[in-house]
Structure 1
Amino acid sequence: MSITMDSAVVIKSYNNNIVSVEMNGQERILFAKGIGFGKKTGDKIEKGTEVEKVFLIENEDNLRNFKQVIENVDEEFFELCERMISFIADELQEKLDERIHVALVDHLNFAVKRIADSEEIENPFLIEIKALYSTEYSLAERVAKKLQDEININIPLGEIGFIALHIHSARNSGVISNSIKNTYMINSIIEYIEEKMSIKIDKTSLDYARFLTHLKFAIKRISTNISIKNDFIKEIKSKYKISYKIAKGVSKILVEKLEKDVVDDEIAYLAMHIERFRRATLES
């Protein structure tokens, strides 16, 4: 769908299809076939000109980084990435954080180069990403399929996981660092439980999926000081002694990583999930 522009003055032409302009007192990036052809700083773009996309990136660091991405990414591939971002926003029916135009485009650009050179980066959190961010992962699979169809390159599962993290970040104010931090923390917790119980948790099981979901929301509650009520703390402590002791150890990991106290109610809920793992092991 085309957009009809007000008049604008060219700040810089990046290539035939992308220009930076001053319009209504703000710097904007315009994308349209041929809009940058022969354009120089100070040239005017007439009112009524139709363009395909208008980027208004308000954060100065994001705008500077976006301009660097434009200059370093192949013109056609940049256009393809932006079509993928529009697809993601349309599917989610959400406005995405503006940093996705930097982070995802830059990631995909280097990912495609790595794949072409047979340099695949392992994603150690793929199972956790699929379980915790199922909507984003499903979208990432479709993005990967579109990329494969367009540029005839196979996107490995690990990269699909990274794309999912970028989508999750764009839905949550660009805080991908927190997503990665939490995924590391969850991975540490799983390893701790496995070590203490001398088991290997089945990461394809429903119990595992439930535990990941519980941990995701527990981390959010603890981080934002939201309390949760558990009326069966005494029974859980008495009936699930081993699991409660391990849950106490998990709570110490959470306290260390989040720098927040973990109440007994949360620990009791963790113990209930850990008990499911213990029983599944005994029954197998």
Structure 2
Amino acid sequence: MYKVILNKDASVIKSFNNNILLVKEEGQEKILFQKGIGFGKKLGDIVKKGTVVEKVFIIEDKENQRNFNEILNRVDTKLIAIVEEVIAEISDELGEELNENIHIGLVDHLFYAIKRLENNEEIDNPFLVEIETLYAREFSMASRLAYRIKEELGVEVPEGEKGFITLHIHSARNNGKLSNTIKYSFLSNSIIEHVEDRLNIEIDRRSLDYARFLTHIRFAIERIITNSPIKNDLVDIIRMKYKVSYKIAEETRKIICKTLDIKEISEDEVAYLAMHIERFRVSLEK
């Protein structure tokens, strides 16, 4: 892990534990990570210019600063410390700076989730298998956070909740757009359910064939939303040879257009969807 040297004095807002501080430096709030940096620190103490820390997260957006400070007033410091430590570990492991929204959204989400769990309320996640399949690395990281919560707070985090944590991590890697992440997971699930209905089958959500098919769908959605067209020279052949699958692919096109609020999807993309539906259909007959 590379080190960061503070360029200016920073005033302590809050010490989460011995290793994490929230400070303000010339009006900008920063979360500092360094072993022992929070020991004995209290509101108003100064962290001197030139102090070396392992990692710095900056909360730049004014609304995020207000929301984070509101969270500080109602959320147990121990939970915030656990989440912030894991966020730092995730950022280092990925070699990426995560969107600052995760410091607010994930802590706030877990605060209410833990309350529900302590009240023995069930947490249902209809997209769990899709999330675990598409975002396997983030799901592993979410499981790590769930383990820490169990070890330090004594709260057992169920699989469904790990899926929601995964979405927060994934969205933080993609400019903080959690609503889009959920929308695309919903869309993938809608497509799968439509294929099931049309082929009159029930897909084993834990099968390798399902994982492959879901991945193909997800890549197709990515190409469509990023306007990255793909060329398919076999459109006419696929349309003639795989008539049932092509018809389902055309129906799928309508689902995608409606969900993403777009006017059209190219025949090339429809043909690729048809090809993957056909492969999936054939694999189920074996």
Aligned residues: 275
Q: Distance in 2 between matches of 1:19 and 1:92?
A: 23
Which digits, 9 at most, give the CA deviation of each residue in 1:241-265, with x for residues without a partner?
Answer: 1111011000111111221421111
Deviation at 1:266, TM superposition (A): 0.8
1:225-236 superposed matches below 5 A: 225-236=227-238
Letter of the aligned partner of 1:27 in structure 2?
Answer: Q
2:39 to 33, 40, 58: 33
Letter of the aligned partner of 1:58 in structure 2?
Answer: E
Q: Which residue of 1 aligns with 2:272?
A: 269
TM-score by length of 2: 0.87
RMSD of aligned alpha carbons: 2.4
Letter of the aligned partner of 1:141 in structure 2?
Answer: S
Q: Is 1:16–1:33's contact at 8 Å kept on the other side of the alignment?
A: no
Q: Distance in 1 between matches of 2:53 and 2:73?
A: 20
Deviation at 1:213, TM superposition (A): 1.2
Q: Distance in 2 between matches of 1:196 and 1:20?
A: 57
Q: Which residue of 2 aligns with 1:131?
A: 133
Which digits, 9 at most, give the CA deviation of each residue in 1:74-129, with x for residues without a partner?
Answer: 12221121111111112212111111110111112222222121112100000000
Letter of the aligned partner of 2:27 in structure 1?
Answer: Q
Q: Distance in 1 between matches of 2:219 and 2:77?
A: 41
Q: Which residue of 2 aligns with 1:113?
A: 115
Q: Distance in 2 between matches of 1:279 and 1:207?
A: 10
User: 4+ residue runs of structure 1 moved beyond 4 angstroms?
Assistant: 1-5, 13-20, 43-55
Q: Is 1:29–1:55's contact at 8 Å kept on the other side of the alignment?
A: yes
Q: Which residue of 2 aligns with 1:201?
A: 203
Which digits, 9 at most, give the CA deviation of each residue in 1:147-173, with x for residues without a partner?
Answer: 222222211000111111111011001
For residues 238 and 55 of structure 1, do their structure 2 counterparts lie closer, same or farther at Cα, with a shift above 3 Å needed? closer
1:28-67 superposed matches below 5 A: 28-29=29-30, 32-36=38-42, 39=43, 46-47=48-49, 54-67=56-69
> Unpaired segments of 5 or more residues in structure 2?
33-37
Q: Distance in 2 between matches of 1:8 and 1:89?
A: 23
Question: Does structure 1 residue 143 correspond to structure 2 residue 145?
Answer: yes
For residues 239 and 82 of structure 1, do their structure 2 counterparts lie closer, same or farther at Cα, with a shift above 3 Å needed? same
Deviation at 1:20, TM superposition (A): 4.7
> Unpaired segments of 5 or more residues in structure 1?
none
Q: Distance in 1 between matches of 2:123 and 2:193?
A: 22
Q: Identity, % of aligned pairs?
A: 48
TM-score by length of 1: 0.87
- Look up the SS of the partner of 1:28 in the other structure: strand
- Look up the SS of the partner of 1:64 in the other structure: helix
1:122 to 119, 124, 133: 124
1:1-284 superposed matches below 5 A: 5=6, 6-9=8-11, 13-14=13-14, 20-21=23-24, 23=25, 25-29=26-30, 32-36=38-42, 39=43, 46-47=48-49, 54-258=56-260, 259-283=262-286
Q: Which shifted more, 45-54 or 206-215?
A: 45-54
Q: Distance in 1 between matches of 2:135 and 2:218?
A: 10
Q: Is 1:14–1:71's contact at 8 Å kept on the other side of the alignment?
A: no
Letter of the aligned partner of 1:267 in structure 2?
Answer: V
- Look up the SS of the partner of 1:199 in the other structure: coil
Q: Is 1:233–1:268's contact at 8 Å kept on the other side of the alignment?
A: yes
